């Protein structure tokens, strides 16, 4: 058996019991894929030996592969595999050092633990997603994570300064930004590393204009491989290729992040909108003030928060449910004055180095919003604002954990267009969902035009599962028509990889295949993601439970 052979190769653990395989057959997506085994490498030597073993055994067992996994919070099915899942949480969970506004860490460190250590130094990695309490930093790199602070600070790609990766030859390499002289030296090497640099340089240089033009014209993108970020004819940086690659090119064993200084003073304004029409103009009015966050959720999400009010209270660690409810009284009075529940709730957060500057930004916001006559509430303390962040961050988990008879079905969960396109796009998206009788919550990053649509469906019914490819086709066609991306943050995985050719066209998609073949010619790493994806496979592995 393969598990017995793996135990001879590794110092770490190997598991193939039913409980473990069941646990690792799911992530936060709508899929279920049962692995053959789960391995827990002890150290880098274990990872290297594992890759070499699979490379050798692949000659007689072509379906063998390795899929890296950490927190399992991926919403696209990225860490799911029928072969061998490689868990990094058990042993690769150490922060090596924090020095000079940077940190070196292993990929299996949970972000919540990572942040506790960086905050001791007054430093922050500002790209955490809504799953910040349960995701790992390795997963953030693999998906090119973004979140509530991305509007001001950018995505994970901006903060990765060096990676250590084990490639398909079974050796570990350090990747970082190279100048022309350093690149030339790498390309002169006669080994596997030199071959990679030569082939990647030729691909990127020979098709430079086409690749640069293929970059989606939106502020965030995790679809495909970010070829346009690797080579700008001054610097050559393969970390930018690995960020967001979902473990399809090699296995990350260490990350060096650049961090930012924290801003201690935060203020928030809550805007209550009756409809979508004024949203783009309001966004464009607010953006020059450089908010740290400009988030949004819809009335369905608000109703969900009301329905599961005790769960929200628990998340904000409220000691008294009545006291917590009392805090919402001013918001309820605003809703009464509107004679309806707000269609959209917009969160505008400012973070500055002084309380005076944060208050000044709030006053500027008040002045700029006067022409809109929008209902709003100003929150001067982080304690007041916390409940709104919990609603925004926890809506997906509330749906997953509390709604009976139906389940979350994230398959069009991460679309992005320029904010100015939202009044045209979102009503058409909502009409498609309505035509198929699909109820969904809507939340997202209003400042960047990135929205998370989470349908609620009964996936035990074949009729419901059949809706998924039809609705995805129609919504993704719309997003592409409006110049957007099918995934801003959540990445491709099982659910979206089949749509990459549609989004980028045959030529650019062909470059993605070429990249995969350069790094992983034997398809050792996470096959079926990014390239060579089978749409039928997606449908066949939708979970019934």
Dihedral sign of CA atoms 200, 201, 207, 211 in order: positive
What pLDDT, on a 0 to 100 scale, did the predictor assign at position 53? 97
Q: How is 9-77 classified by DSSP, letter by letter?
A: H-SSEEE--HHHHHHTT--SSSB----SEEEE--SHHHHHHHHHHHHHHTTT-TT--EEEESS---SSS
Structure tokens given for 103: 């940190």
CA 472/CA 94 separation, integer angstroms:
40
What is the pLDDT averaged over residues 465-480? Answer: 96
What pLDDT, on a 0 to 100 scale, did the predictor assign at position 391? 74
Closest to 172 measured CA to CA, from 239, 284, 254: 254
What pLDDT, on a 0 to 100 scale, did the predictor assign at position 93? 98
Percentage of the chain exceeding pLDDT 90: 75
**pLDDT, mean over the chain:** 91
What is the pLDDT averaged over residues 397-403? Answer: 63
Paired sense of beta strands 265-273 and 412-416, if any: unpaired
What pLDDT, on a 0 to 100 scale, did the predictor assign at position 381? 74
Name the β-bridge partners of 453.
412, 442
Three-class secondary structure assignment of 171-203: CEEEEEEECHHHHHHHHCCCCHHHHHHHHHHHH
Q: Given pLDDT bands bounded at 50, 70 and 90, which one contains residue 153?
A: very high
What pLDDT, on a 0 to 100 scale, did the predictor assign at position 311? 66
CA 291/CA 397 separation, integer angstroms:
26
Which of 170-174, 281-285, 466-470 shows the lowest per-residue confidence on average (mean pLDDT)?
281-285
Correct CATH for 2-87 of 3.40.50.1000, 1.20.140.160, 3.30.43.10, 3.30.2130.30? 3.30.43.10
pTM of the model: 0.91
What pLDDT, on a 0 to 100 scale, did the predictor assign at position 402? 58
**DSSP reduced 3-state for 398:** helix
What pLDDT, on a 0 to 100 scale, did the predictor assign at position 387? 73
C-alpha distances in Å from residue 339, one per residue of 51, 344, 369, 378, 417: 62, 14, 21, 20, 31
Given a cut of 90, whether residue 241 has pLDDT beyond it is yes
Given a cut of 90, whether residue 334 has pLDDT beyond it is no
Given a cut of 80, whether residue 339 has pLDDT beyond it is no
What is the pLDDT averaged over residues 44-48? Answer: 98
Segment 55-66, tens digit of pLDDT: 999 989 999 999
What pLDDT, on a 0 to 100 scale, did the predictor assign at position 320? 62
CATH assignment of 264-402? 3.30.70.2190
Could you check whether 264-402 and 404-490 share the same CATH topology? yes
What pLDDT, on a 0 to 100 scale, did the predictor assign at position 352? 94
CATH assignment of 95-261? 3.30.465.10
Structure tokens given for 269: 């304004």
Higher pLDDT, 462 or 388: 462
Asked if residue 227 lies in contact with residue 515, where contact means CB atoms within 8 angstroms, the answer is: yes
Dihedral sign of CA atoms 407, 410, 411, 413 in order: positive
What pLDDT, on a 0 to 100 scale, did the predictor assign at position 442? 85
What pLDDT, on a 0 to 100 scale, did the predictor assign at position 429? 95
Higher pLDDT, 344 or 128: 128
What pLDDT, on a 0 to 100 scale, did the predictor assign at position 158? 98
What pLDDT, on a 0 to 100 scale, did the predictor assign at position 403? 62
Q: Given pLDDT bands bounded at 50, 70 and 90, which one contains residue 216?
A: very high
Q: Which residues contact 74 (CB under 8 A, 6 or more apart)?
A: 27, 28, 29, 139, 143, 490, 491, 493
Given a cut of 90, whether residue 89 has pLDDT beyond it is yes
Segment 410-465, tens digit of pLDDT: 999 999 999 889 888 989 999 999 999 998 888 889 899 999 998 889 999 999 99
Q: Which residues contact 371 (CB under 8 A, 6 or more apart)?
A: none
Residue spans of the domains in the chain: they are 2-87, 95-261, 264-402, 404-490
Given a cut of 60, whether residue 329 has pLDDT beyond it is no
Which of 28-42, 124-138, 295-309, 486-500 shows the lowest per-residue confidence on average (mean pLDDT)?
295-309
CATH assignment of 404-490? 3.30.70.2740
Q: How is 365-383 classified by DSSP, letter by letter?
A: HHHHHGGGT-EEEEE-SHH
What pLDDT, on a 0 to 100 scale, did the predictor assign at position 385? 73
Helices (H), 354-421: 355-369, 382-402
What pLDDT, on a 0 to 100 scale, did the predictor assign at position 398? 66
What is the pLDDT averaged over residues 222-248? Answer: 98
What is the pLDDT averaged over residues 516-536? Answer: 97
What pLDDT, on a 0 to 100 scale, did the predictor assign at position 388? 77
Name the β-bridge partners of 439.
456
Q: Given pLDDT bands bounded at 50, 70 and 90, which one contains residue 192?
A: very high
Given a cut of 60, whether residue 326 has pLDDT beyond it is no
How distant is the alpha carbon of residue 347 from its chain centre?
20
Higher pLDDT, 362 or 276: 362
């Amino acid at each position: 058996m393969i598990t017995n052979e793996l135990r001879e190769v590794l110092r770490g653990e190997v598991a193939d019991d039913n409980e473990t395989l069941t646990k690792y057959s799911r992530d936060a997506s709508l899929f279920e894929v049962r692995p053959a085994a789960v391995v827990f490498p002890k150290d880098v030597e274990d990872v290297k030996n594992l890759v070499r073993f699979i490379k050798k055994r692949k000659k007689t067992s072509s379906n063998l592969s390795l899929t890296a996994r950490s927190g399992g919070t991926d919403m696209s099915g990225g860490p799911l595999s029928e072969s061998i899942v490689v868990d990094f949480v058990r042993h690769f969970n150490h922060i090596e050092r924090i020095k000079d506004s940077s940190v070196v860490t292993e990929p299996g460190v949970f972000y919540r633990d990572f942040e506790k250590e960086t905050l001791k130094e007054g430093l922050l990695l500002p790209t955490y997603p809504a799953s910040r309490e349960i995701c790992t930093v390795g997963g953030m790199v693999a998906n090119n994570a973004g979140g509530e602070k991305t509007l001001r600070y950018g995505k994970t790609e901006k903060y990765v300064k060096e990676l250590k990766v084990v490639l398909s030859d079974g050796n570990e390499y350090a990747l970082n930004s190279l100048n022309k002289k350093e690149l030339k030296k790498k390309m002169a090497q006669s080994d596997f590393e030199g071959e990679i640099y030569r082939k990647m340089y030729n691909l990127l240089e020979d098709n430079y204009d086409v690749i640069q033009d293929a970059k989606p014209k939106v502020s965030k993108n995790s679809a495909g491989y970010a070829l346009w970020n690797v080579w700008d004819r001054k610097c050559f940086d393969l970390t930018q290729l690995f960020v967001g690659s979902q473990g399809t090119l090699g296995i990350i064993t260490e990350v060096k992040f650049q961090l930012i200084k924290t801003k201690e003073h935060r203020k928030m304004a809550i805007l209550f909108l009756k409809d979508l029409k004024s949203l783009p103009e309001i966004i464009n009015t607010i953006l020059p003030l450089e908010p740290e966050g400009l988030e949004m959720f819809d009335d369905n999400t608000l109703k969900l928060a009301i329905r599961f009010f005790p769960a929200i209270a628990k998340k904000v660690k409220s000691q008294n449910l009545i006291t917590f409810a009392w805090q919402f009284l001013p918001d309820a009075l605003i809703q009464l004055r509107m004679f309806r529940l707000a269609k959209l709730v917009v969160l505008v957060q400012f973070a500055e180095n002084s309380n005076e500057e944060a208050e000044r930004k709030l006053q500027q916001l008040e002045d700029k919003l006067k022409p809109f006559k929008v209902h709003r509430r100003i929150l001067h303390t982080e304690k007041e604002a916390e409940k709104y962040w919990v609603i925004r961050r926890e809506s997906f988990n509330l749906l997953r954990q509390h709604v009976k008879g139906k389940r979350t079905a994230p398959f069009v969960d991460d679309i992005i267009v320029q904010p100015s396109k939202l009044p045209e796009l979102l009503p058409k998206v909502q009409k498609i969902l309505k035509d198929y009788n699909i109820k969904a919550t809507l939340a997202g990053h209003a400042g960047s035009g990135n929205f998370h649509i989470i349908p609620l469906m009964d996936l035990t019914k074949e009729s419901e599962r059949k809706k998924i490819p039809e609705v995805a086709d129609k919504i993704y066609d719309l997003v592409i028509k409006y110049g957007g991306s099918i995934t801003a943050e959540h990445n491709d995985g099982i659910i979206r990889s089949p749509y990459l050719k549609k989004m980028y066209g045959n030529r650019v998609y062909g470059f993605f295949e070429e990249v995969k073949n350069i790094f992983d010619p034997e398809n050792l790493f996470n096959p079926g993601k990014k390239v060579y994806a089978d749409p039928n496979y997606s449908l066949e592995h939708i979970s019934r439970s």
